[in-house]
Amino acid sequence: MPITKLEQIVETVKSRPRKRLIAAWANDSHTIAAVGQAVSLGLVEGTLVGDEATIRSVCKSEGLDPAVFTIVHEAADAKAAARAVAMVNAGEGQILMKGLLSSDKYMRAILDKEKGLMDQGAILSHVTVIEVERYPKLIVCGDVAVLPAPELKEKIAITRYQIAVAHALGIEQPKVAIIAATEQMLYKMQACVDAAIIAKMADRGDIKGALVDGPLALDVAVDPEAVAIKGLKSTVAGDADCLVFPNIESGNVFYKTCTKLAGAELAGLVVGARVPCVLTSRGDTAKSKLYSIALAALTAR
């Protein structure tokens, strides 16, 4: 059965062998508490890379036993990120997580051409899984955080990443909507052109494992009533599992609207590297941090 709630990801991962998560520059209470909860629930084993004295002090203030973690001392944030990545490359962990260091330093360590986590030609992106109360299933979407203005090649990668995450959620044939401002084929609107190309690639088997259609406006992607009113014929419209946004502005506004105005919860991952990379924000809820770790464990090899 497909997973339709974020909490079901947690329950699914509990029944599987634990993966090891390595948190880079894990000097803050947000990171340590999230990893601690994931460890206590049996989702992952946890390694914290950072200043050992600080980590132990935070554990004490959070009421956590530092013995539940493996602590690796590294006294500077950039070095901690590089150390965490090196440990993953050495097979000592299957999940990477951002701690207190800035996102640019975290990404720099992942993208390092000699010592990072990227295979040649790989494209780094972000996949978000959102649970909105009014929608009957989870929404897999992106990119909301990494690729600012994806071109066609990058949108194809985003589409494939979303399909892979949907498969991990147990959705055998996910319905993927390539989003634009309209479902009409307007050749002067690049989002429409790219969407039509990706949809045709799927029709011809160049993109496998999903039903893909576009361009689709957001209303017809998720609302059967809008589809009926507009008389649209589509295997995806009104029932989309995945939303591929044309740019980071549209994706980011969508996910923040869902979380801040509709009370949605989410899980998010950086994908395209050799392992799933958790990238959470201080603004994310404790639940979202836990769900992101669970999603990483679900998708990790």
Alpha-carbon distance 180 to 244, whole Å?
Answer: 9
Q: What per-residue confidence (pLDDT) applies to 282?
A: 67
pLDDT band with cut points at 50, 70 and 90 for residue 46: very high
Q: In this structure, what are the phi and psi dihedrals at residue 277, rounded to the nearest 5 degrees?
A: -120, 120
Average pLDDT (268-293) is 90
Please answer whether residues 242 and 195 qualify as being in contact, where contact means their C-beta atoms are separated by less than 8 angstroms.
no
27: which residues sit within 8 A by CB, 6+ positions away? 50, 51, 54, 55, 58, 99, 100
pLDDT at 296: 98
Pick the CATH number of 125-261 from 3.40.225.10, 3.40.718.10, 3.40.630.30, 3.10.50.40: 3.40.718.10
Task: Delimit the domains of the chain by residue range.
Answer: 6-121+274-299, 125-261
For the CA atoms of 208, 206, 120, 124, the dihedral, rounded to the nearest 10 degrees, stands at: -60
Tens-digit pLDDT profile for residues 188-242: 999 999 999 999 999 999 999 999 999 999 999 999 999 999 999 999 999 999 9
| Category of 238 on φ-ψ map: left (φ > 0), alpha (ψ -120 to 50) or beta | left
Gap between the Cα atoms of 9 and 170, Å rounded: 10
Digit-coded pLDDT (tens) for 241-280: 999 999 999 999 999 999 999 999 999 999 999 999 998 8
Mean pLDDT of the chain: 96
Asked if 215 and 179 touch (Cβ cutoff 8 Å), the reply is yes
The pLDDT value recorded for residue 229 is: 96
Could you tell me which CATH number the domain at 6-121+274-299 has?
3.40.50.10950
Q: Are 105 and 81 in contact (CB under 8 A)?
A: yes
Q: What's the CA gap between 185 and 269, in Å, rounded?
A: 32
Give tens-digit pLDDT for 154-169: 999 999 999 999 999 9
Q: Where are the beta strands (DSSP E) in the chain?
A: 19-24, 44-50, 69-73, 95-98, 125-131, 139-142, 175-179, 211-216, 242-244, 265-271, 277-278
239 residue type, one letter: D
301 pLDDT exceeds 90?
no
CA distance 112 to 103: 14
Q: How far apart are the first and last CA of the chain?
A: 21
pLDDT in tens, 89-124: 999 999 999 999 998 999 999 999 999 999 999 999
Identical fold between 6-121+274-299 and 125-261: no
The reported pTM is: 0.94
